[in-house]
Amino acid sequence: MTCIFNHITGYWFINEEFNIESTENNIDVRTDKNFGCLDKIQEIDLSDIDLQTQTYNIITNSAPYRYIPALKKNRLDFSVKAISDAHISLSNAAQLMVPKIIIIIGGWSNSASTIRINDIDVIKNNTPGILDKDEFRGFWIKWSQDRNILVGKRNEDIPFLVYRHTERLFPINFIGVSCLFNHITGHWIINDV
């Protein structure tokens, strides 16, 4: 299976589990994994790929979710710099469709965070000032097939959002990130995907 990412403006790192062939203006990503290609050609800037730290560097700006393959099947570690509304989609396809899990960090003008299952808030907590427009803030998300979804801050073991789903979770094959509201720019660093 082959996915081709054209060189335009976005920021990505492709994990070592892929075979990468690149030219000056595009990157050819080959994998035996059953991820499929993303619905839209994703943008990539080869100068921002960091092979040593194995990170994706993504910038979003009130745009649709930017999806990347979830190579770790139960955890996401990331940092985000945004004034508010950091949205993370966990899904089995590279598109926003049901079933889906959406985690919002710093929503409601950076005052609350939530976990949504199929567009319904299942847990919402006050988290005033959790994001910062000038500083990267680190977070983690853990999920398991036994129904648990946990969201916490980097270097803290106790999550600030905990939800136990009523059914087994679907396979998480893709992670999407966005800052959907009010033309907010989000700078994302996603670790060891």
Tally Cβ neighbours within 10 Å of residue 176: 23
pTM of the model: 0.73
For residue range 110-129, list pLDDT tens digits in order.
Answer: 999 999 998 899 999 999 99
Q: Are strands 55-61 and 26-30 parallel, antiparallel or unpaired?
A: unpaired
Whether omega for the bond prior to residue 69 falls within 30 degrees of 0, making it cis, is: no
CA distances from 99 to 90, 93, 117, 118 (A): 9, 9, 8, 6
Residue with tokens 């960090």: 105
What pLDDT does residue 41 have?
32
**CATH annotation of 2-191:** 2.60.120.200
Domains of the chain, residue spans: 2-191
In this predicted structure, the answer to whether residue 11 has a pLDDT above a threshold of 90 is: no
For residue range 153-178, list pLDDT tens digits in order.
Answer: 999 999 999 999 888 888 888 888 99
